[in-house]
């Protein structure tokens, strides 16, 4: 039986999140960080102290040993304050921690998990390439075996956090002549390895999550830098994305709820033709549609989190939740902009920021077209 009632521990954690982010990321600070392109890296040690980065990990590695539902609840609540705060938790947990837990060695877990959980390390997923976006099987970056390790040659692009990461989780071809999903292995590449060069990419939104073009010119990594089994890299990366999509869905849902509340407050306060906007049926029904979409998104996120907590196979549900949540966020921001009109179009409004940011999520970490294909295969 599925039970979405919250435990006392979960309620206390969400209250702690509210207190912390109300203090550290009030609306004025979120606006400042967006305007100045300031990422939340300074929050990572504090999030580590709060235990948020260790929610789904075993206490033996410094984690809290909580289930995935707790993580989804926390990320949803964080995104109501600032999506970028929930997002960096997602990247630490999914790109870093879950990659280690799913296919890393015990030695790698013991070495890196406590650093990630404590907010002292950050892994960046270096998957996309100029000709390999939605088609992740098209990667051409290669790793050639040399004495004591590998030389990595190639180029990655649109890699979030790459410059400030301690390591890149980087798939490359290790089997000469292999194509598609075959012959790919994953490496944990130290950021400051010789031969890595980076260029910052300018973006429409998500200014608190910098992205980079990454060149790899004979970058040497030792044999123990390989994550998982040689040749199984594509399967490994899919498992990483499986967890990151569930986190993205939770964050998108929380952010969407904040948009509905923002639009509702404006509709009740804004007077036109002698009455509040909310007195007009067309506005009330638009807000009703927005809230219904958010509630549907929340249910898909909670169902997925429950399945993950139970250890169930949920590839279809992860793809579905990602689609529903990201398209819900785009739906409510579009309608929210219409309700706020010029008030939302001002660069001082959080509505325009969320509107710009939301456009990324329906194709980031696997386009929704690809997600629909994954769903269809699981029917």
Q: For residue 270, tell me if it sits in a domain.
A: yes
Q: For residue 94, tell me if it sits in a domain.
A: yes
Measured between alpha carbons, how far is residue 188 from residues 25, 180, 252 in Å? Answer: 32, 21, 28
- The reply to whether 222 and 261 lie within a common domain is no
Question: Is 329:256 a contact under the CB 8 Å cutoff?
Answer: yes
Could you say which of 206, 234, 262 is where a domain stops? 234
- The reply to whether 242 and 222 lie within a common domain is no
Q: What is the total count of domains within the chain?
A: 3
- The reply to whether 267 and 353 lie within a common domain is yes
Give dist(CA 358, CA 203) in Å, integer: 13
Q: For residue 2, tell me if it sits in a domain.
A: no
- The reply to whether 70 and 131 lie within a common domain is no
- The reply to whether 246 and 368 lie within a common domain is yes
Could you say which of 99, 122, 145 is where a domain stops? 122
**Run of H or E including 261:** helix 233-269
**Run of H or E including 90:** helix 83-90
- The reply to whether 244 and 348 lie within a common domain is yes
Q: Is 228 helix (H, G, I), strand (E, B) or coil?
A: coil
- The reply to whether 79 and 172 lie within a common domain is no
Mean pLDDT over residues 226-244, rounded? 92
Going by C-alpha positions, the residue among 59, 89, 58, 77 that lies closest to residue 16 is 77
Going by C-alpha positions, the residue among 249, 226, 262 that lies closest to residue 321 is 249
- The reply to whether 230 and 253 lie within a common domain is no
Six token digits for residue 261: 């509340």
* Residue 80 confidence (pLDDT): 97
- The reply to whether 128 and 98 lie within a common domain is no
- Indicate the burial class of 312 (C-beta count within 10 angstroms; 0-12, 13-18, 19 or more): exposed
Q: pLDDT category, 139, cuts 50, 70, 90?
A: very high
264-278 pLDDT, tens digit per residue, is: 999 999 999 999 999
Q: 128-133 long-range CB contacts below 8 Å, 24 or more apart? A: 128/156, 128/157, 128/158, 128/159, 129/154, 129/155, 129/156, 129/157, 130/155, 130/157, 133/158, 133/367
Q: What is the CATH number of the domain that holds 198?
A: 2.40.110.10
- The reply to whether 13 and 75 lie within a common domain is yes
Mean pLDDT over residues 126-154, rounded? 93
Q: For residue 1, tell me if it sits in a domain.
A: no
Mean pLDDT over residues 88-100, rounded? 96
Could you say which of 93, 122, 151 is where a domain stops? 122
DSSP 8-state secondary structure symbol assigned to residue 129: B
pTM of the predicted model, to two decimals? 0.95
Phi-psi region of 132 (alpha: psi -120 to 50; beta: other; left: phi over 0): beta
197-212 pLDDT, tens digit per residue, is: 999 999 999 999 999 9
pLDDT at 219 over 80: yes
Q: For residue 3, tell me if it sits in a domain.
A: no
Q: For residue 144, tell me if it sits in a domain.
A: yes
DSSP 8-state secondary structure symbol assigned to residue 177: T
* Residue 133 confidence (pLDDT): 82
DSSP code per residue over 178-220: --TTTTEEEEEEETT-TTEEEEEPP-SS-TTS-EEEEEEEEEE
pLDDT at 136 over 90: no
What is the span of the domain harbouring residue 65? 8-122
* Residue 178 confidence (pLDDT): 87
Phi-psi region of 241 (alpha: psi -120 to 50; beta: other; left: phi over 0): alpha
Q: What angle do CA 240, 245, 246 make, to 5 degrees?
A: 105
DSSP code per residue over 298-364: HHHHHHHHHHHHTT---HHHHHHHHHHHHHHHHHHHHHHHHHHTHHHHSTT-HHHHHHHHHTTTTTT
Question: Is 212:162 a contact under the CB 8 Å cutoff?
Answer: yes
Mean pLDDT score of the chain: 96
Q: For residue 350, tell me if it sits in a domain.
A: yes
Comparing 3-12, 139-148, 296-305, which segment has the lowest mean pLDDT? 3-12
Q: What is the CATH number of the domain that holds 65?
A: 1.10.540.10
Whole-number percent of the chain with pLDDT over 70: 100
Beta bridge partner(s), residue 145: 150
Mean pLDDT over residues 297-302, rounded? 97
Q: What is the CATH number of the domain that holds 241?
A: 1.20.140.10
Question: Is 70:55 a contact under the CB 8 Å cutoff?
Answer: yes
- The reply to whether 241 and 373 lie within a common domain is yes
- The reply to whether 156 and 75 lie within a common domain is no
222-232 pLDDT, tens digit per residue, is: 999 999 999 99
Q: For residue 227, tell me if it sits in a domain.
A: yes
């Amino acid at each position: 039986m599925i039970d979405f009632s919250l435990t006392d521990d979960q309620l206390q954690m969400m209250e702690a999140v509210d207190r912390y982010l109300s203090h550290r990321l009030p609306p004025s600070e979120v606006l400042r960080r967006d305007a100045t392109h300031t990422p939340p890296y300074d929050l990572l040690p504090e999030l580590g102290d709060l235990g948020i980065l260790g929610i789904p990990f075993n206490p033996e590695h410094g984690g809290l040993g909580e289930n995935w539902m707790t993580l989804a609840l926390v990320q949803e609540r964080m995104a109501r304050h600032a999506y970028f705060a929930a997002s960096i938790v997602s990247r630490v947990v999914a790109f870093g921690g879950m990659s280690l837990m799913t296919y890393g060695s015990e030695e790698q877990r013991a070495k890196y998990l406590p650093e990630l959980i404590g907010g002292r390390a950050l892994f960046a997923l270096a998957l996309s390439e100029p000709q390999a976006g939605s088609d992740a099987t098209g990667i051409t970056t290669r790793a050639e075996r040399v004495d004591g390790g590998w030389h990595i040659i190639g180029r990655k692009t649109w890699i979030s956090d790459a410059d400030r990461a301690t390591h890149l989780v980087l798939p490359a071809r290790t089997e000469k002549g292999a194509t598609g999903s075959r012959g790919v292995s994953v490496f944990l590449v130290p950021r400051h390895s010789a031969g890595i060069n980076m260029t910052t990419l300018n973006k429409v939104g998500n200014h608190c999550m910098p992205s980079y073009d990454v060149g790899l010119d004979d970058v040497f990594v030792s044999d123990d830098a390989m994550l998982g089994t040689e040749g199984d890299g594509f399967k490994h990366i899919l498992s990483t994305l499986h967890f990151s999509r569930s986190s993205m869905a939770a964050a998108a849902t929380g952010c969407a709820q904040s948009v509905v509340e923002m639009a509702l407050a404006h509709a009740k306060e804004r007077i036109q033709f002698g009455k509040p906007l909310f007195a007009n049926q067309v506005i009330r029904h638009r807000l009703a549609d927005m809230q219904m979409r958010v509630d549907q998104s929340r249910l898909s996120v909670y169902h997925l989190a429950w399945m993950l907590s139970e250890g169930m196979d949920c590839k279809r549900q992860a793809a579905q939740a990602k689609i529903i949540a990201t398209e819900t966020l785009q739906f409510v921001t579009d309608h929210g902009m219409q309700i706020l009109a010029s008030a939302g179009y001002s660069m001082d409004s959080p509505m325009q920021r969320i509107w710009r940011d939301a456009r990324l999520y329906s194709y980031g970490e696997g386009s929704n077209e690809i997600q629909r294909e994954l769903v269809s295969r699981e029917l």
